[in-house]
Amino acid sequence: MSEQDYQPETLGVRAGTVRSQFGEHSEAMFLTSSFVFESAAQAAKRFIGEEPGNIYARFTNPTVTMFEERLAALEGAEQCIATASGMSAILACVMGVLKAGDHIVASVSLFGATVNLFNNIIKKFGVETSYVSATDVAEWQAAVRPNTKLFFLETPSNPLTEISDIAAIAAVAKGCGALLAVDNCFCTPILQQPLKLGADIVIHSATKYLDGQGRVLGGAVLGSKKNLEGVYGFLRTAGPTMSAFNAWVFLKGMETLKLRMDAHSANALELARWLEAHPNVARVFYPGLPSHPQHALAMRQQKTGGGIVAFEVKGGKEAAWRVIDSTSMLSITANLGDTRTTICHSASTTHARITPEARAAAGISDGLIRIGVGLEAIEDIKADLARGLNQ
């Protein structure tokens, strides 16, 4: 039986492990910046690529390689390149794939730092970005220019959990010779495998669910060797690579990824149903609910609705802040993908820097609260939210 045939639970535990001469059962953490050669001749062969092997940790490190192999197996990717953070994965993707004069078509519903990277950093080097609806495929087609080289989206989106049709948008990208990159942070390969749906590149912020316990930053870019050639070249030269320690933490995190994603999803679905029935809640955004506008697509594309729930409290910002400040267990933080449930007011935190008009256009109202549903008992999570909601 080859590794390809294993189920995700098995891959998360077993894929990528390489033992040293000591036969350790748990993956070793190789805290070394460089590697020693047996001879001058071997060093020469390594440097010109005639012999495979490690040279320097900015290029490769055995613990990081184990992380890359495990995540590649889970995503069904030919290659995975680990990075220091999710943002450096996105930076490496655009630096590796694009050149001055190229054009990106991106979903309007992107992580804030990604928008900042596209608008204020990549733009300085002559790459322009057009933003289109996450959900309207016709807008993607209409935004294409002769120099469009990259489509970029994340699904479900933050915080409204809008679902982009990966297969349909991949077909548009293919038609115009552009690559489609999908930020798969919210679903992880357990719930959604964008490469199997036609995407060319997958991006991860490993900081979220892959670690799952809120400890370290990391990221990854996945795809075919051909599409990632420039990405690897950029990382090896510019240096935002993953540390061996962080790779080891992620290896441990991935061992429980399937169990955790199933448990996050089950808690999130129950919380979404409970919120939807609550008289002081105006609206719930969760792809696993039949009331979600793209429920059917979500259930086709993802295994579950995932772990992120957003809802609108009646009474605007004042009521939303009251719900947040009445919690005693939930963590008030903009992070997510943690065993601990997190709660945040999107309009005044993650989306505070955009204009009120732009926020309204994006559907992020003052009463909106985002929950990264954790692994505590669901009755304890509900009780913590009920205090403020029942007032």
Measured CA to CA, the distance from residue 358 to residue 113 in angstroms comes to 16
User: How many binding residues for ligand PLP (CB under 6 A)?
Assistant: 14
Least distance (Å) from ligand PLP to the CB of residue 318?
27
Please tell me whether residue 111 binds ligand PLP under the rule CB under 6 A.
Answer: yes
Tell which one of 8, 16, 62, 86 touches ligand PLP (CB under 6 A).
Answer: 86
Window 23-52: residues binding ligand PLP (CB under 6 A) = none
Least distance (Å) from ligand PLP to the CB of residue 337?
8
Strands 179-183 and 201-205: parallel
Please tell me whether residue 183 binds ligand PLP under the rule CB under 6 A.
Answer: yes
Tell which one of 207, 302, 304, 341 touches ligand PLP (CB under 6 A).
Answer: 207
Phi/psi for 182 (5° steps) reads -120, 125
Stretch that binds ligand PLP, among 44-52, 65-73, 203-211, 236-244 (CB under 6 A): 203-211
Report which residue type is found at 358.
Answer: A
Of 217 and 231, nearer to ligand PLP (C-beta) is 217
Of 42 and 331, nearer to ligand PLP (C-beta) is 331
DSSP character for 120? I
Of 63 and 207, nearer to ligand PLP (C-beta) is 207
DSSP codes of every residue in 202-264: EEEETTTTTT-SS----EEEEE-HHHHHHHHHHHHHH--PPPHHHHHHHHHHHHTHHHHHHHH
Stretch that binds ligand PLP, among 62-70, 85-93, 229-237, 354-362 (CB under 6 A): 85-93
Residue 129 three-state SS: strand
Tell which one of 87, 105, 134, 191 touches ligand PLP (CB under 6 A).
Answer: 87
Tell which one of 71, 95, 115, 185 touches ligand PLP (CB under 6 A).
Answer: 185
Measured CA to CA, the distance from residue 68 to residue 136 in angstroms comes to 33
Of 66 and 87, nearer to ligand PLP (C-beta) is 87
Window 116-155: residues binding ligand PLP (CB under 6 A) = 154
Of 87 and 95, nearer to ligand PLP (C-beta) is 87
Please tell me whether residue 208 binds ligand PLP under the rule CB under 6 A.
Answer: yes
Dihedral angle over CA of 51, 52, 53, 59, nearest 10: 110
Stretch that binds ligand PLP, among 34-42, 126-134, 201-209, 242-250 (CB under 6 A): 201-209
Strand-by-strand arrangement of the 342-345 sheet = 281-285, 308-313, 368-372, 342-345, 331-332
Please tell me whether residue 212 binds ligand PLP under the rule CB under 6 A.
Answer: no
Sign of CA dihedral 379, 317, 343, 327: negative
Measured CA to CA, the distance from residue 45 to residue 140 in angstroms comes to 47
At CA 262, angle to CA 189 and CA 385, rounded to 5? Answer: 120
Tokens 């199997």 belong to which residue?
196
Footprint on this chain of ligand PLP (rule: CB under 6 A)? 85-87, 111, 113, 154, 158, 183, 185, 205, 207-208, 217, 219
